[in-house]
C-alpha cells in the first residue's frame, strides 16, 4: 500500500502551464522537518484547496508560496517554488514585490486599527499604485465591491475597521488583499473564526474571485473544500499524499490515507 501512495504522490502533480509550482520542497523548523519533498502545481484561475489534519504542514506550505516563512527564525527551505516559471526563492527576487503579487488572507481577521478606507488604501499607497486621490478612491471602492462589502460599509468608510463584525472584518481583509491587484491570493483557513452565515458569504466571494485570481485555500472543513475548490491536495505529516480534481479526491481517492481522512476515520 505504501508503494501505491508513493506513486500517487509523484505521478499526479504535473498540469499544463501552472501558475505556481513547488518542486521537491523541504522545510525545516530548526531541526524539525515540517515538509517532505512536496511537489504541487497551482492552476491559474482555479481554487486549490489544501486539506489535512492539524499539523500536517498545509499552512506551512501555503506560507512558502509568498515567503512568509522568511519572517520566522530558524526556518530553512530547500527545493524550488516558481511563479510564472520564475523561482521565487531566487536571490534577485524582491520579496516585497513578490508579496504584493501574491496576497494573503489570514486565519483570524487582522484589520489594521485604522479606518475601513485606510485599511484598503494601505497597499496601493505603499506600492505607489495611484497618482491621485480619485484613483485611490476608485481602487478602494472596487476592492470593497469585489469583496462584497461595499453595500454594508459605504456610509462609514472612515469609521474604525475594528468595529466591524468578524465576517465583515475578514471580507475587509480580502478587499485589502485584492486592492493591490495580486495574481494569487493565499487564504489560511479564512473561515475558521467565522459563523456559518459569514462563512457562506466568504465562500461565495471566493467563488466569484476565481474568475480574476488564482486562489490557494487551506481549510479544515472538507465540505468547504468540496464546495469552493476545483483541485484539492491532501497533506499528511508533512507529505503531500494526493492531489487531483476535487471531485475525484472526494469520490474516488486513490490513497488509503486520503480515504481515511475524508471519510472521517482519523484526523
Partner 1 sequence: MTDMASLMEDRAAAKVISDKVQKPVDWDSPKIARNIKKRYAAERRFKIYGLSAIGVALLALFVLAFSIGSKGYTAFFQTYVQLEINFDPAEIDPNGTGDPAVIGKANFDDLIKKALLARFPDVTDRRDKRDLYGVVSGGASYDLRERVMENPNLIGQTRKIWLISGDDFDMLNKGYIDANVDEGSRRLNDKEIGWYDALVSDGAVEKKFHSRFFTSGDSREPELAGIWGAAVGSFYTLLVTLFLSFPIGVLAAVYLEEFAPKNRFTTIVEVNINNLAAVPSIVFGLLGLEVYLNVMHLPRSAPVVGGLTLALMTLPTIIIASRAAIKAVPPSIRQAALGLGASPVQTVTHHVLPLAMPGILTGTIIGMAQALGETAPLLMIGMVAFIVDIPGGALDPATVLPVQIYLWADSPERAFVEKTSAAIMVLLAFLILMNGLAVYLRKKFERKW
Residue 142, C-alpha cell as written in the block:
472596487
Calculated CA dihedral for residues 125, 128, 129, 133, nearest 10 degrees = 60
By CB under 8 A, is residue 160 in contact with partner 1?
yes
Residue among 148, 236, 242, 258 that touches partner 1 (CB under 8 A) = 236
Q: Where are the beta strands (DSSP E) in the chain?
A: 20-29, 32-42, 47-51, 75-83, 86-87, 102-105, 184-188, 214-218, 231-236, 239-245
> Smallest distance from the beta carbon of 192 to partner 1, in angstroms?
14
Q: Tell the burial category of 20 from Cβ atoms under 10 Å away from its Cβ (0-12, 13-18, 19+).
A: buried
Q: Which is nearer to partner 1, 23 or 108 (CB)?
A: 108
By CB under 8 A, is residue 31 in contact with partner 1?
no
> Smallest distance from the beta carbon of 126 to partner 1, in angstroms?
5
Residue among 6, 97, 252, 263 that touches partner 1 (CB under 8 A) = 97
By CB under 8 A, is residue 73 in contact with partner 1?
yes
Residue among 158, 204, 237, 247 that touches partner 1 (CB under 8 A) = 237
Are 42 and 214 within 8 A, CB to CB? yes
Residue 158's CB is within 10 A of a number of other CB atoms, namely 10
Q: Which is nearer to partner 1, 44 or 256 (CB)?
A: 256
Q: Build a one-symbol-per-residue string for 98-137: x at contacts with partner 1 by CB under 8 A, - elsewhere.
A: xxxx-xx-x-x-xxxx--------xx--xx----------
By CB under 8 A, is residue 177 in contact with partner 1?
yes
Helix (H) or strand (E) holding 11: helix 2-11
By CB under 8 A, is residue 66 in contact with partner 1?
yes
Amino acid at each position: 500500500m505504501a508503494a501505491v501512495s508513493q506513486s500517487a504522490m509523484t505521478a499526479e502533480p504535473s498540469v499544463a502551464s501552472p501558475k505556481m509550482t513547488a518542486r521537491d520542497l523541504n522545510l525545516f523548523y530548526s531541526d524539525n522537518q515540517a515538509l517532505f519533498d512536496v511537489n504541487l502545481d497551482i492552476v491559474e484561475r482555479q481554487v486549490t484547496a489544501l486539506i489535512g489534519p492539524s499539523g500536517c504542514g498545509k499552512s506551512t506550505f501555503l506560507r512558502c508560496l509568498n515567503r512568509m516563512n522568511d519572517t520566522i527564525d530558524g526556518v530553512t527551505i530547500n527545493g524550488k517554488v516558481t511563479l510564472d516559471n520564475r523561482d521565487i526563492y531566487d536571490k534577485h527576487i524582491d520579496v516585497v514585490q513578490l508579496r504584493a503579487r501574491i496576497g494573503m488572507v489570514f486565519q483570524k481577521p487582522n484589520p489594521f486599527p485604522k479606518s475601513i478606507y485606510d485599511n484598503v488604501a494601505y497597499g496601493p499607497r505603499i506600492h505607489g499604485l495611484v497618482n491621485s486621490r480619485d484613483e485611490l478612491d476608485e481602487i478602494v471602492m472596487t476592492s470593497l465591491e469585489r469583496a462584497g462589502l461595499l453595500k454594508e460599509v459605504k456610509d462609514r468608510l472612515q469609521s474604525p475597521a475594528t468595529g466591524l463584525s468578524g465576517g465583515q472584518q475578514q471580507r475587509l481583509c480580502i478587499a485589502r488583499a485584492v486592492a493591490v491587484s495580486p495574481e494569487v491570493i493565499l487564504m489560511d483557513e479564512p473561515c475558521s473564526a467565522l459563523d456559518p452565515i459569514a462563512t457562506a458569504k466568504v465562500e461565495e466571494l471566493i467563488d466569484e474571485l476565481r474568475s480574476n485570481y488564482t486562489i490557494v485555500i487551506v481549510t479544515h472543513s472538507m465540505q468547504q473544500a468540496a464546495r469552493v475548490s476545483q483541485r484539492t491536495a491532501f497533506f499528511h505529516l508533512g507529505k503531500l499524499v494526493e492531489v487531483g480534481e476535487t471531485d475525484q479526491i472526494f469520490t474516488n481517492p486513490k490513497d488509503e490515507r486520503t480515504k481515511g481522512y475524508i471519510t472521517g476515520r482519523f484526523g
